Amino acid sequence: PAGSPDGARIAVSSPLHGDYEIYVMNADGSGVTRLTEHSAFDGLPAWSPDGTRIAFTSDRDGNDEIYVLYVPAR
């Protein structure tokens, strides 16, 4: 898991719905939101310093690559 810079949220990679996807939740575990939905492995989330984006690794194109997505505001 990766804590957001302000400590309010956590990003995790989990197979909650079958495939490893990136999820964000409040620090207390509430408010779980799935950010990715792909059959490939999405993992190792890391927050940007300003807390607006998450970088993660994925092999969705056949190679391990780094992807960045914007995180919706709470």
The domain of 55 spans 2-70
Three-state SS string across the chain, please? CEECCCCCEEEEEECCCCCCEEEEEECCCCCCEECCCCCCCEEEEEECCCCCEEEEEECCCCCCEEEEEECCCC
Number of structural domains (the chain) is 1
- Is the per-residue pLDDT at 19 higher than 80? yes
For 31-67, the pLDDT digits (tens) are 999 999 999 999 999 999 999 999 999 999 889 999 9
Taking the C-alpha atoms of residue 2 and residue 57, their distance in angstroms, rounded to an integer, is 14
pLDDT band, residue 73 (cuts 50/70/90): confident
pTM score > 0.95 for this model?
Answer: no
